[in-house]
Amino acid sequence: MAETFLVIGAGGHAKVVIDALLASGCAVPGCYDDDPALLGSEPVPGVPVVGGSSSLVSNWRKGLKVVIAIGENGLRRRLSVLWDVEYGVALAPSAVLGRGVAAGPGAMILPSATVNIDSIIGSHAILNTSCSIDHDCRVGDYAHVAPGCALGGNVVVGEGAFLGIGTRVIPGIRIGRWSIVGAGAVVTKDVPDNCTAVGVPARVIKRREEGWHLKMNGEGSP
């Protein structure tokens, strides 16, 4: 049965997610963005910005699905714990899922993404355009695998981690929680939590304190 989604966000990422939902036959009556200047605009023709986050809760009812279509991982996490609503998985029809693949509520699996057998995708994670996740991977809650990334088998991507466009990760590697990998990197060694790693091969260039992403989103220390 085709689902009906309420989409949070009206930016570039929301356009991609709404397009994927419509392509898969879902209904998207409107989206919700806290920028008042966007009220009434249509990021995708026929899908108006009907209000901000506060009106989402009054418009939601059981059976409707919600997705947080905002690219910033820490912000998706902050928003995801605010409301008692039901999150759905946004799955593009051109995505390819193997046997035993599972995705948590709010996950977004976008056009031409490939997820091979027995990989698990966390809640509110983003598998962006044409990325490939090979067998037995674990992609954590709120993580974002950007377009064109390629993960070998048994790769672990920690909660909130961001893999920039075209990142390559060899089999069995762990990318730490809330870490960032620069576009085009080739990751051949584990990346610790809360780091930034760039280059070929990837090298850690920055280390942040635990909970850095909370402060970035105006939340207290962990």
**Looking at the annotation, which residues are catalytic?**
135
Decide if residue 90 touches ligand JB3 (CB under 6 A). Answer: no
Q: State CA 140 to chain mean position distance.
A: 10
> Binding-site residue total for ligand JB3 (CB under 6 A)?
20
Residue whose Cβ sits closest to ligand JB3: 11
What gap in Å lies between CA 26 and CA 191, rounded to an integer? Answer: 38
Decide if residue 19 touches ligand JB3 (CB under 6 A). Answer: no
Decide if residue 219 touches ligand JB3 (CB under 6 A). Answer: no
Going by C-beta distance under 8 Å and a sequence separation of 6 or more, which residues neighbour residue 1? Answer: none
What's the Cα-to-Cα distance from 33 to each of 8, 50, 80, 157, 217, rounded to whole Å? 6, 8, 15, 29, 17
Q: In this chain, which of 7, 79, 173, 175 binds ligand JB3, going by CB under 6 A? A: 79
The helix (run of H) or strand (run of E) holding residue 214 is helix 212-216
Strands 138-139 and 96-97: unpaired
Decide if residue 73 touches ligand JB3 (CB under 6 A). Answer: no
Decide if residue 59 touches ligand JB3 (CB under 6 A). Answer: no
Binding region for ligand JB3 (CB under 6 A) out of 30-38, 153-161, 179-187, 198-206: 30-38
Decide if residue 190 touches ligand JB3 (CB under 6 A). Answer: no
Decide if residue 113 touches ligand JB3 (CB under 6 A). Answer: no
Q: In this chain, which of 9, 88, 106, 158 binds ligand JB3, going by CB under 6 A? A: 9
Name the residue nearer to ligand JB3 (CB basis): 9 or 30: 9
- Left if phi > 0, otherwise alpha if psi is -120 to 50, otherwise beta: which for 13? alpha
Name the residue nearer to ligand JB3 (CB basis): 32 or 142: 32
User: Residue 3: how many CA atoms within 13 Å on its side-chain side?
Assistant: 20
Task: Supply the minimum distance, in Å, between the C-beta of residue 99 and ligand JB3.
Answer: 28
Decide if residue 85 touches ligand JB3 (CB under 6 A). Answer: no
Residue 181 and residue 168 in contact, taking contact as beta carbons nearer than 8 Å: no
Decide if residue 53 touches ligand JB3 (CB under 6 A). Answer: yes
Dihedral angle over CA of 8, 11, 14, 15, nearest 10:
140
Binding region for ligand JB3 (CB under 6 A) out of 69-77, 111-119, 155-163, 208-216: 69-77
Decide if residue 33 touches ligand JB3 (CB under 6 A). Answer: yes
What gap in Å lies between CA 69 and CA 8, rounded to an integer? Answer: 6
Name the residue nearer to ligand JB3 (CB basis): 70 or 169: 70
